[in-house]
């Protein structure tokens, strides 16, 4: 993502394509997590253990685990969105800077 040879300038190179690709990967992971049906998995396991402490525990945890997986998916989705917004902001800033330089050069 950055070129660590900053030297005395304190500058770095932002690789937009790599960062944008990372954001897209976060969306893919979010989508994959969203497809995990923790409630059904644990409920089906509970059905196999009727009348046991394991059944009660699995039923009790099914909603909790579903909520956790859903929250993780939503968090990664939001993170991917923020990465995309950051890349867009950097690109917009670069374009604006390039336009200012071009306009200043034309005035010379």
Comparing 8-17, 64-73, 89-98, the range with the smallest average pLDDT is 8-17
Residues 67-80 pLDDT 10s? 999 999 999 999 99
Domain span at residue 44? 16-107
On whether residue 58 sits in a domain, the answer given is: yes
Which pLDDT does position 1 carry in this prediction?
44
Residue 99 CA: distances (Å) to CA of 11, 14, 70, 86: 20, 19, 43, 20
Instruction: State the total domains in the chain.
Output: 1
CATH of the domain at 75: 1.10.287
Q: How far is CA 42 from CA 46, 59, 84, in A?
A: 6, 7, 35
Mean pLDDT, rounded, for 82-98: 89
Going by pLDDT thresholds of 50, 70 and 90, the confidence category of residue 14 is confident
Residue 5 lies in a domain: no
Asked if residue 103 belongs to a domain, the reply is yes
Whole-structure pTM value:
0.68
Residue 81: predicted pLDDT: 92
């Amino acid at each position: 993502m950055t070129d660590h040879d900053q030297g005395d300038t304190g500058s770095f190179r932002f690789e937009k394509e790599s960062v944008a690709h990372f954001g897209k990967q976060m969306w893919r992971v979010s989508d994959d997590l969203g497809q995990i049906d923790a409630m059904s998995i644990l409920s089906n396991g509970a059905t196999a253990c009727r009348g046991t402490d394991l059944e009660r525990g699995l039923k009790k945890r099914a909603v909790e685990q579903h909520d956790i997986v859903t929250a993780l998916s939503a968090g990664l989705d939001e993170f991917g969105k923020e990465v995309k917004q950051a890349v867009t902001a950097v690109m917009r800033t670069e374009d604006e800077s390039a336009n200012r330089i071009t306009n200043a050069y034309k005035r010379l």
